[in-house]
Amino acid sequence: MRTIITIVIATATILAIGCGSLRPLPYSEHPVDFAYEIDGQVHHLSQARGRPVVLVLVRIAELTSDLFMKQVVDTFNSTAGKTLFLVLTIAPNEAPMLDQYAEIKELPFSIGLADWSVAQGETRLGLIPVVPSTYLIGPDGRVRDMAPGFVAADVLTRAIKKQGWR
């Protein structure tokens, strides 16, 4: 099992390094909005306008998302401030497990459930290529950068700093 995990991490790291950075999206001229639920309360991404958002879409039951969570926590800890981190699952069946997962993993943030339209590709994000996927959304609600798959914390932190967010 340890060998499999090592191979997954090594492959994901090579892919992240190969990408070099997050990739600009062609449809970034349109603001993104959708509903999500955290701790039983429904919110809308548009409520975060005025703040930069790091949006991480996951499925906590998938090994890659689970391994990526450490990178998200490291990035959160190094950039916590005016940047809002939203970590959302796109799998409705995971909703009952989110609080327990966050507690077991000792996450410094809650994990929420994205509206079904996100998983269906019916938002301005389009089809989610893989999970995890990370989006940098500017204070104006527009997607600035995107990274499919596992991204090393230092790559994600550099991308956030490149945006001038701290």
**Strand 53-58 to strand 41-44: parallel, antiparallel, or no bridges (unpaired)?**
unpaired
3-state class (DSSP) for residue 57: strand
Q: How many domains does the chain have?
A: 1
Burial of 26 from C-beta contacts in 10 A (0-12 / 13-18 / 19+): exposed
pLDDT digits (tens, 9 = 90+) for 118-133: 999 999 898 898 999 9
Count Cα atoms within 13 angstroms, Cβ side, for 105.
Answer: 23
Burial of 113 from C-beta contacts in 10 A (0-12 / 13-18 / 19+): buried
Sorted by sequence, the CB contacts under 8 Å of residue 165 that are 6+ apart come out as 52, 79, 82, 83, 136
Q: What is the DSSP letter of 30?
A: S
Residue 147 has pLDDT above 70, yes or no: yes
Q: Which residues pair with 133 in a beta bridge?
A: 57, 148
Residue 44 has pLDDT above 90, yes or no: yes
Domain that holds residue 60: 2-162
The CATH number that applies at residue 10 is 3.40.30.10
Q: What is the DSSP letter of 56?
A: E
Whole-number percent of the chain with pLDDT over 90: 68
